Structure 1
């Protein structure tokens, strides 16, 4: 006897089929029941040949797994679903088939067989009509990249029509920010089965180039200080037309008007085109806008991140005046958190004509990083690190990092925690703790174990200037046994003893100026820091350091950027008793490339490096893209010249032991070239340098491999 449940399922399915399509004349209902009799329960679903997607990923794509019922129609739909998923990942030649095997209790086992083939890439990206801007610059700006040696890792060479549409908009904006407001961009993608890749062709109609002409401000608001508003204008007369500068000026002007107490100020730009002179005359109109208030703020999409983490970036709350420039700034601030892959803000009507509802939808991305890295440094040799980093700890926007590192010269244990909005204020508070072990090496006559920590507070003073304050404690125990292989007890340190202990308490501040156009890839602006700290307990001194780097493009939109970097430091003893060697500056390759770490400066007759209480240096560098290499390789070249000066060791305790020859040429200079790689693991660089000026006891180094930094 047929089970009642099966009869019911068959009847329901038959009714569904009858309702879905008209029944042909003369076809009995029994024919539909006969089709449904082919349904079988699924015992299991298996996959073969899949590498790009895991079994768990594919299970989510197939209906026979979710429903537990097998029909040929469902199977065909599942095959197409899998094929489309592979197609979106660039596997154009994928083949998907399915078969069934009998299982127990009359059920079937469904097996999908996948032949992936090779992933299709981007064989070439070509541009026509781009007379003003080079193809390499445009390739660097768009999302789609040509296939290269790192494509297997970056996966940025997949063809996607939505990405291509975004690229057309990127190119249009790229031109519009460089004097071409009327640019038109079209694209065509062709698949070459022989090369298993796409050829993408962009056609650009640039139009006429424009500059900014006369710039003025008109307002109908009594009491508004237009002189202050003028400081927000970035569209100076004679400057190249830029849609971005125009929009930024509007936003900044509206924000400044709000700061003056006019919360409903509305700013628009009136543009008067002069085709004959190729200029746009700009008049900024500042008027009183509609008095609308924010009734409610709805936040959706945040599964992990707490609402308050998003709300505090808006600088306004429910019940406050609605100001479009404030909303735009809030969205930019939320995006800058780097917790979300997408941030969308829309408005809706409120309960009254003068009220509005703000809807914020976000899409979260991973903020945790668990990593084990290995590398090589010319100073520390082979090194490695295991770390845990969470940038949005417990969804509260807090930063947490713990790391264990090891190298041929020692081991490190670090912990750091930061609360970006301490007590709800725009103050970042944090704590750091560390334990570091440094061994005796060929460049250091003694080792040490340092354990310490600090508390810190960071306060923004202006949009570009930040101040941080810190204070902490460190205990350092000296290891001075010359335990190096083949070591000679005669080469122990002349300044410290084995087991000697130093305690220090320190307090200080750092001022940071960030005027760069892009913190990751700067092309223009100044980045500078100045710090001072008092060091007490077993010491009594003040350390002062200043560092800065100024960037300027050599040729606009060429990728060639020049920079000038300066640095200096001085230590002042407050009791006149001298500076202990453990607190001395140890400038080396970071001051002048072409020298080893601790490679130049005052030394003892035995060759022990002492350090100094004063140093200063300047470096000039030109960075450029490497011709012929695709931009997505992340490789660039540079040439540089360094000059650095170090003082003697007369202020260092027992400094009389150094020989004059170890610092007989206080000014060191070098020239060289670099290869810089913006790698997935961080910016790395290799420097080849030749020392021009050096002292008798200096130790030079032809090649240096380091992490690239701003300062």
Structure 2
């Protein structure tokens, strides 16, 4: 036998011996692993607060019971899972089983250290651990994570929270959450890729999130909140699709931290797709005998309009209201869209069919501890027993959120107790609705002023408005009180009651005025975008502190002392600036008349028409406004407190009372019974970062005020009593600052009369705090 053969044989014998030894060892251990135990005694050691019987119940092992080794392990695990013990050891000692435990301490006090941006009371609401209860490390870590999440929602994603224990006597500890708040993680830049139709600036204006910039310490900035990105995605999608981009999608949103981890860089990657116009709109009925002609009046979407899901939804809502009016229940309206990619057009067909017969069983409202149930129910056009309409429920939910009374409002439908019925659940979270404010303002018309106000938008939980405002400036003092019930007698009828007192101290005139007015009113809708207000007014006017050198006309008017007038009036408004089919264009129309009754007989008529549109990728706003008024008195006599004056709000470029009829001898502004003005203006970006809040504008104003009426036989000479037009051209700078919005107007009068008082610059600022 060779040496190599002898080595191989030795290795085989050694391997066989090892295997035999391993088999023998397993055979010897196996009985031990499968061993059963029977204990004549079960004892617990180390427990001071938890009763022995309680621990034995958790273990589930009784004296004299036969248990396996696996059952002993399970018993130990059950005790550990209670969260009451720091350590658990189960030890068989012959016929005796020993359960040795070390209890977790009891929490003596819960505190917070290092927090400055969130106070203790708010943090305590996030903590689930409780004083005088057993400390649980898993629970403490969960609470620490909740606190860190609260800081992250405020833009402090680097906040670190650590639970720490301070040992006390009798197995007690103080649980302290040690907080390192870190700095605010701002949005340093928001950018877009793939956008061609709209600029980054315009798209940033759509988002709820805004970016910081070089002046972030002085100018508004925003913090990063991850949950807000989903809302921004929806806002951006709605913006594009309401403008005809039916295929628009957001590919992804990249949120990247800067190297210093103190700011985010957000990038929205979008695909705009093609823009589609409506080629045709039809109505088709799948219900035998149902004519579609009755629904024609509901269609506002028209050929040539850019497709908008919002416009389609509005058409369907109007058609459903017609169906309810005509007693057609359970009508289902489905918009079917046919696309023609060749000419980028769409054909919209509204298909009428029968829907499921489902009724509203009841409406349950929860979470409103202050607001009365009826305030929430008034937002529903549906009541118990009505056919269920998911669209109507969604609209009701939007109206509830729009009230501003609730931080959150969820409206959902669930199956009712009977087949074919649903229960509508309304779950609201109330928020403060009152405000107390103090502030300051400045205008070149009235000078520097102070303002104070109290307002409650949900007075006594009834959904009523109660407000009191006081303001004073160099030239006037105003006290006003307003009360409004938006659902008078449970209907869409707004009742208002206002009281105003105004006192003027005219530095530019030789007289002062006092005005007191009480006016109850009712306002109600007359069309989708139109509202009508009717009112009664009792007004007191007095001319005071007339200088002997004042105009004879003013002196004669003052001799009549204070005058009470009673009047009835109405005001109609039509506004599509937010609800029109074209999101780029809005129209505002206002027309009103006030009729004097009793001793003073007059008719005061005012009107305004305004249209605005966005152009050049919606970066530039163009607006045109025509405004005017006329007072017709039965005897042709009016007072300076009745007549129109054209301040800078109506026509820029002149001092308050700087144009219109004047006394030739005293230069007193007398006002006029007629006025008319046309304003053309544009607002546009100046190329500065949006976080500066600075934009520009240009405008042209053209108009006049004229016709004093009777001069009461004074023989005074009145200048510019006939229509004499003025024209002004100017530029504006708008600055949205932390102190409030500022507007700077630089003007040049192109047409002015000799005694007009022009103004080349004016500034308006207001702030509330």
TM-score grouping bracket, smaller chain normalisation: 0.7 to 0.9
Candidates 89, 95, 102, aligned match of 1:34: 102
User: Matches of 2:291 and 2:635 in 1, distance apart?
Assistant: 53
Distance 2:200 2:463 in 1: 40
> Are the counterparts in 1 of residues 645 and 705 from structure 2 also a CA contact under 8 Å?
no
Residue 91 of structure 1: how far off its partner (Å)? 1.4
C-alpha separation between the residues in 2 aligned to 1:150 and 1:352?
A: 62
Q: Which residue of 2 aligns with 1:133?
A: 198
Q: Which shifted more, 490-499 or 352-361?
A: 490-499
Question: Which secondary structure does the structure 2 equivalent of 1:384 belong to?
Answer: strand
Aligned counterparts, 1:316-331, within 5 A: 316-331=382-397
- How far apart are residue 680 of structure 1 and its match? 7.8
Where structure 2 has 5 or more consecutive residues not aligned to the other structure, the ranges are 1-45, 59-77
Matched, 1:690 2:748: yes
The residue that corresponds to 1:515 in the other structure is 576
Say if 1:480 and 1:98 are closer, same or farther in 2 by CA, change over 3 A: same
Conserved 8 A contact 2:152-2:225? no
Cα deviation, 1:319-356, whole Å, max 9, x if unaligned, reads 12223343333333333323334443322222333322
Counterparts of 2:229 and 2:499, CA distance in 1:
47
* Counterpart residue number, 2:500: 434
- 1:530-541 alignment to 2 at 5 Å? 530-536=591-597, 539-541=600-602
Q: Does 1:637 align with 2:696?
A: yes
Q: In the TM superposition, what are the counterparts of 1:399-548 in structure 2 within 5 Å? A: 399-439=465-505, 441-480=506-545, 490-491=549-550, 493-497=554-558, 500-517=561-578, 523-536=584-597, 539-548=600-609
Structure with bigger gyration radius = 2
* Contact 2:277 2:304 survives alignment (8 Å): yes
Matches of 1:122 and 1:149, distance apart in 2:
12
In the alignment, is residue 570 of structure 1 matched against residue 609 of structure 2? no
Deviations 1:84-137 (A, max 9, x none): 322232213334456666779996655544332320111112211222332222
Contact 1:473-1:504 within 8 A present in 2 as well: yes
Q: Map 1:337-356 to 2 at 5 A.
A: 337-356=403-422
CA, structure 1 residues 150+575, in 2 after alignment: closer, same or farther (shift >3 Å)?
A: farther
Deviation at 1:228, TM superposition (A): 4.4
Secondary structure at the counterpart of residue 657 of structure 1: coil
Q: CA deviation at 1:664?
A: 7.9
Where in structure 1 are there 5+ consecutive unaligned residues?
A: 483-488
User: Which residue of structure 2 aligns with residue 701 of structure 1?
Assistant: 759
Structure 1 residue 627: Cα displacement: 2.4
Q: Secondary structure at the match of 1:84?
A: helix
RMSD of aligned residue pairs (Cα, Å): 3.4
Indicate the residue corresponding to 1:622 in structure 2.
Answer: 682
Bigger mean CA deviation after superposition, 615-624 or 583-592:
583-592
CA distance in 2, matches of 1:53, 1:67: 25
Aligned to 1:18: 80
Distance 1:296 1:620 in 2: 53
Q: What pairs up with 1:138-153 in 2 under 5 angstroms? A: 138-148=203-213
Structure 2 CA distance for aligned equivalents of residues 651 and 533 of structure 1 = 21
User: Which structure 2 residues correspond to residues 194-213 of structure 1 after superposition, within 5 A?
Assistant: 194=260, 196-213=262-279
* 5 and 317 in structure 1: CA distance in 2 versus 1, 3 angstrom threshold: farther
Q: Report the TM-score, using the length of structure 2 for normalisation.
A: 0.81
Once the two structures are TM-superposed, the CA of residue 243 in structure 1 deviates from its matched residue by: 2.5
Q: Is the CA contact 2:680–2:699 (under 8 Å) kept in the aligned structure 1?
A: yes
Deviation at 1:41, TM superposition (A): 4.5
The one of 698, 706, 719 equivalent to 1:647 is: 706
Partner SS state of residue 49, structure 2: helix
1:93 to 158, 162, 182: 158
Q: Distance in 1 between matches of 2:113 and 2:472?
A: 42
Task: Pick one of 393, 400, 417 that aligns with 1:334.
Answer: 400
CA positional deviation for 1:611: 0.8
SS at match of 2:122: helix
So what's the TM-score if we normalise by structure 1? 0.87
Instruction: For residue 560 of structure 1, report the CA deviation from its aligned partner.
Output: 1.6
Identify the residue that residue 673 of structure 2 maps to in structure 1. 613
SS of residue paired to 1:281: strand
Counterpart of 1:292 in structure 2 is: 358
The answer for the alignment partner of 1:486 in structure 2 is none
- 1:692 positional shift: 1.2
Which one of 544, 554, 573 corresponds to residue 615 of structure 2? 554
